[in-house]
Amino acid sequence: MKKLGLTGVVFISFACNLLMAQNVDQLKMMEKYIGKWQANRGKDTVEIWDYKPYGSHAFIVDIYQIIKGKNTPVSFNPISYDPKTGKFYGFTLLVSGYYGTWIGSFSSETKFDGDMLGNFNPQPVYGRLENIFKNPNEWTCALYSTEGIKYLQLDFVKIK
């Protein structure tokens, strides 16, 4: 009986250490985004995503487009990491006043998955986002409908 108790304590200790390591890894992986990224959006339009850390568990992303040389704001995006769930919570505020929320995490070293939601409610899911890092200077963002149809893909290159 004592061996079972000790085994249980060792397992719980191992599980807690594993969870803490996963939490650190999630934040470490999110640091890959820090900097300015550029994606072509069509003729005469480039989209810039400027990722900045905000404290120890948060990030801010300022998104704007350069259309024929003129900067046009698109959205402001605070992102918070919750160590209890191991997930990131994002809020997207468009200049029109429309907003959206999402919850996501890294499922591997190179892939970030998220669900687009209403007011962080887990149901219903309005769509899915998927970011894949090709290398430290390139990644792709894809948005999917609830039916799994890709309706947007942006290929980013680090510019700063």
The pLDDT score that the predictor gives to residue 13 is 36
**Do 147 and 25 contact (CB within 8 A), yes or no?**
no
Characterize 92-131 residue by residue with b for buried, 16 or more Cβ atoms within 10 angstroms of its Cβ, and e for exposed. Answer: beeeeeeebbbbbbbeeeeebebbbbeeeeeeeeebbbbb
**Residue ranges covered by each domain of the chain:** 2-158
Q: Which residue matches tokens 């390591």?
A: 21
Query: Hey, what amino acid is at 29?
Result: M
The amino acid sitting at 13 is S
Q: What's 2-158's CATH class?
A: mainly beta
pLDDT digits (tens, 9 = 90+) for 55-114: 999 999 999 999 999 999 999 999 999 999 999 999 999 999 999 999 999 999 999 999
Task: Verify cis geometry, omega within 30 degrees of 0, for the bond prior to 78.
Answer: no
CB 123 within 8 A of CB 44: no
> SS3 string of 42-105?
ECCEEEEEEEEECCCCEEEEEEEEEECCEEEEEEEEEEEEECCCCEEEEEEEECCCCEEEEEEE
Q: What is the largest CA-CA distance in the chain?
A: 74
pLDDT interval class at 120 (50, 70, 90): confident
CA distances to 15, 52, 116, 118 from 121, rounded to whole Å, are 28, 26, 9, 6
Q: What's the predicted TM-score (pTM) here?
A: 0.80
User: Does residue 35 surpass a pLDDT of 90?
Assistant: yes
